[in-house]
Copies of this chain bind each other. A is one copy, B any other.
Amino acid sequence: MTAGHLPDEVRNDSDEPLNTVDALVQLSFLVQGVLTRVAAAHDLSLVQVRLLGILRDRRPGMLELARHLGLDKSSMTGLVTRAEKRGLVLRVPSPHDGRGVLVSLTPAGRELAEEGGAEIDRAIGELAQALTAGERAQLRALAAKLLAAAPAGEAGRPPVR
């Protein structure tokens, strides 16, 4: 049942109505698709965009970063290393902890982060234009409720694999 609950395509040309599960799943693919496209337009992966996004307001250590992204710390090394090679990010030794490293944006990284962030706002916002103001308010309320219900341990982190 639930014919398309695995979104073989995020299309709208099917005439059968969505059930709730399909609605959530397909919507998530739609949004992720937009995000991925925006990232790709700047030659970034989605993870990298998220990395930059975090670094806009913070200057965390590797481990903290890994926690935020839901990654293993060993995965962080590679992620940061690649970003560093591209000149987006800098590793600076922690002043308080000889082992520690703080990751911070380079000017180029910051620029990309701002730009990317704005473009995501634009792209998703454009999508949201399909809704009336009232509907958008509904959507916010529903999302808030769902997010609040997410059992943190169960689904509290972004996808990892």
B-contacting residues of A (Cβ < 8 Å)? Answer: 1-3, 5-12, 17-21, 23-37, 40, 45-46, 49-50, 52-54, 57, 68-70, 117, 120-121, 124-125, 127-131, 135-136, 138-140, 142-150, 152, 154-161
Give Cα distance in the complex from A143 to B146, angstroms: 14
User: What residues of chain B lie closer than 8 Å to A10, measured between beta carbons?
Assistant: 147, 150, 155-158
Q: Which residue of B lies closest to A2 (CB)?
A: B121
Docked-complex contact A49 and B6, CB < 8 angstroms: yes
User: What residues of chain B lie closer than 8 Å to A46, measured between beta carbons?
Assistant: 159
A100 to chain B, nearest CB (A): 19
Give Cα distance in the complex from A38 to B143, angstroms: 21
Given contacts A21-B120, A120-B25, A140-B19, contact A50 B158 (CB under 8 A): no
> Which residue in B34, B148, B161 is a CB contact (below 8 Å) of A45?
B161
A159 to chain B, nearest CB (A): 4
Give Cα distance in the complex from A49 to B158, angstroms: 18
User: What residues of chain B lie closer than 8 Å to A156, measured between beta carbons?
Assistant: 9-11, 33
Give Cα distance in the complex from A150 to B12, angstroms: 8
Given contacts A45-B161, A121-B5, contact A155 B23 (CB under 8 A): no
Q: Can you report 16 residue pairs joining A to B where beta carbons are below 8 Å apart?
A: A6-B49, A7-B158, A9-B70, A9-B156, A10-B156, A11-B147, A24-B31, A24-B128, A28-B28, A30-B147, A30-B155, A33-B157, A33-B158, A40-B160, A127-B146, A130-B146
